[in-house]
Amino acid sequence: MPSQLTYPGVYIEEVPSGVRTIVGVSTSVTAFVGRAPRGPVGEPTVVTSYGDYERAFGGLWKGSALGFAVRDFFSNGGSIAVVVRLYRANGVAGKATGAQGGLTLETADEGEFGAKIRFRVDHDTRPPDASLGEVATTLFNLTVYDGGTGLIETHRNVSVGVTGHPRFVTDVLKNASTLVRVSGAAPGTRPAKHAAPTAGQDIWALASLSEPLVGGSDGDPLTDASFNGAGLEAQAKGLFALERADIFNLLVIPPYDSASLTDAKVSDPVHKDAARYAAKRRALYIVDGKPDWTKVSDAITGVASTFTIASEFTKNVALYFPRLMQPNPLKDGQLEPFAAAGAVAGVFARTDAGRGVWKAPAGLDAGLNGVPALEVPLTDGDIGQLNPLGVNALRAISGAGRVIWGARTLQGSDRLASEWKYVPVRRTALYIEESLFRGTQWVVFEPNDEPLWAQIRLSVGTFLGDLFRQGAFQGRTPREAYFVKCDRETTTQSDIDKGIVNIHVGFAPLKPAEFVVIRLQQIAGASAV
């Protein structure tokens, strides 16, 4: 604010430049929703490597395709994933429990993994602090061991029997443990300690030295209701638990509706809701072909008869066919068909990092790592039937391996003539939308007049200018590539009276070269004169 001029002299004032920098959002954060053997239920969890996923959710598992999809994502170039674990109860207590001297613990999350957890109590604590109401019978140490991962948690000087104690055992485990919680009320006095080990004894191998948790259930295979059941959207559960995720750009739902991974698929009702939700979150939904599409004709008829997603949302859906043939480490490396969406999302991320979101994630550079074969070999003629329908082909090319050979959305059917025909065009628009949505929040409640409009034009124009210099748009000059309009034409006095400011942004997208035509002609040699 201006200085208060009270004495003769020189006053220094710092004047803000008026430039509000708009930072581009990430483009390839991928959300995975499915079943896992362990991990937080219904809570979006960010993982940045497959190792992170294994520690949090248990890795590959015969009961779900989720682990395989996440593995393929990271092995093909993915860097950030948001995982939501869903759990379907089966009438058996989902959490394992164990007790020692009145203290009952249960696993933090549902699953049979809890039967591998043990805990130990000892009384080697600090002296009691009378100012906290402590006595000798309120403090103890609790050590928890997960035999499945080897993780050991040590919680020292936890308390029972003292209301409001800063180390009250229930609160400590709730906030600091990923493995266990107190079940029911904590006892009034500390639990009895376990016997002290002698030299060379493994405290986790002897029953007298530690206490096991017993029970727990992995639940039943998921159904449609696990994803989009009545009331789940309002409660932010199931698929809609992603409401608690800050951002995701790609959505993958691995096949779920069968105990056999080979036969599992995603139902059409879930496809519809997933496509609608992806559009709401400005994300692209990556879809796999059905498991019964064992030949090209099945895909041609199936895409029209089974993928009945509302046309307004198909611009945010990309369909890939066929499935991948990969070795299954859980079955001695036997080749089995797996859904391709996780690997495709990884290629998206790799392409974004190397070339930008405006580059089609397809072509010879879009190789699929760890894929020795495809379930259905495709020829040029086969792809010529699928591509006009908006079905993106996965194919084998000599010298390049298995690659993505299509870059269309489900609005990519030639007969629709949609402006959102191509995946990179749609993703570029989503990227710009999300970046501007987040980068213009400062505009709210600012005085709605020309100084504000000039700031908006400068901020948005700078952001688009940076993209132009990176090669994101068509055109030789910025004028040909994009425009930003925010003035008396876009925002009338009536708009101002209603508290509205209108920003009009346009861009000329890059479209992939799908068809390369080479014309070869012989020329006659010149005749001697």
| pLDDT digit string, tens, across residues 236-261 | 999 999 999 999 999 999 999 776 78
Task: Point out the domain boundary residue: 215, 250, 274.
Answer: 215
My answer on whether 207 and 105 are in the same domain is yes
Query: In this structure, is residue 494 part of a structural domain?
Result: yes
My answer on whether 298 and 410 are in the same domain is yes
Query: In this structure, is residue 439 part of a structural domain?
Result: no
**In which domain, by residue range, is 522 found?**
1-22+447-529
Task: Point out the domain boundary residue: 215, 233, 249.
Answer: 215
Query: In this structure, is residue 432 part of a structural domain?
Result: no
d(CA 33, CA 199): 47
d(CA 405, CA 366): 8
* CATH number of the domain where residue 368 is located: 3.40.50.11780
307: left (phi over 0), alpha (psi -120 to 50) or beta: beta
Query: In this structure, is residue 433 part of a structural domain?
Result: no
Would the pLDDT of 473 be above 60?
A: yes
d(CA 335, CA 327): 4
Query: In this structure, is residue 346 part of a structural domain?
Result: yes
Please, what is the end-to-end C-alpha distance for the chain in angstroms? 88
Confidence of residue 529 (pLDDT cuts 50, 70, 90): low
Query: In this structure, is residue 442 part of a structural domain?
Result: no
Would the pLDDT of 461 be above 60?
A: yes
Task: Point out the domain boundary residue: 186, 215, 244.
Answer: 215
The pTM (predicted TM-score) of the whole model is 0.93
My answer on whether 167 and 263 are in the same domain is no
Q: How many CB atoms lie within 10 A of CB 213?
A: 24
My answer on whether 226 and 280 are in the same domain is yes
Q: How many domains does the chain have?
A: 3
My answer on whether 230 and 371 are in the same domain is yes
Non-local (6+) Cβ contacts of 149 within 8 A are: 55
Beta carbons of 290 and 306 less than 8 angstroms apart: yes
Place of tokens 């979006």: 44
Beta carbons of 91 and 38 less than 8 angstroms apart: no
| pLDDT digit string, tens, across residues 411-456 | 988 888 899 999 999 999 999 999 999 999 999 999 999 999 999 9
| pLDDT digit string, tens, across residues 279-289 | 999 999 999 99
The amino acid at 501:
V
Query: In this structure, is residue 251 part of a structural domain?
Result: yes
My answer on whether 381 and 238 are in the same domain is yes
pLDDT, the chain, mean: 93
298: left (phi over 0), alpha (psi -120 to 50) or beta: alpha
My answer on whether 142 and 234 are in the same domain is no
pLDDT for the residue 260: 77
Query: In this structure, is residue 518 part of a structural domain?
Result: yes
pLDDT for the residue 516: 87
Alpha helices in 96-249 (DSSP H): 169-176, 224-228, 232-235
163-168 average pLDDT score = 90
My answer on whether 61 and 115 are in the same domain is no
d(CA 396, CA 529): 53
Phi and psi for 80 in degrees, rounded to 5?
Answer: -135, 125
| Apex 29 CA angle, 260 and 63, nearest 5 | 15
Beta carbons of 358 and 472 less than 8 angstroms apart: yes
Confidence of residue 2 (pLDDT cuts 50, 70, 90): low
Confidence of residue 231 (pLDDT cuts 50, 70, 90): very high
Task: Compute CA distances 263 → 36, 148, 298, 342, whole Å.
Answer: 18, 29, 15, 17
d(CA 517, CA 282): 35
| pLDDT digit string, tens, across residues 82-126 | 999 999 999 899 999 999 989 999 999 999 999 999 999 999 999
My answer on whether 393 and 316 are in the same domain is yes
Strands 250-252 and 30-35: parallel
My answer on whether 332 and 359 are in the same domain is yes
My answer on whether 18 and 35 are in the same domain is no
My answer on whether 233 and 345 are in the same domain is yes
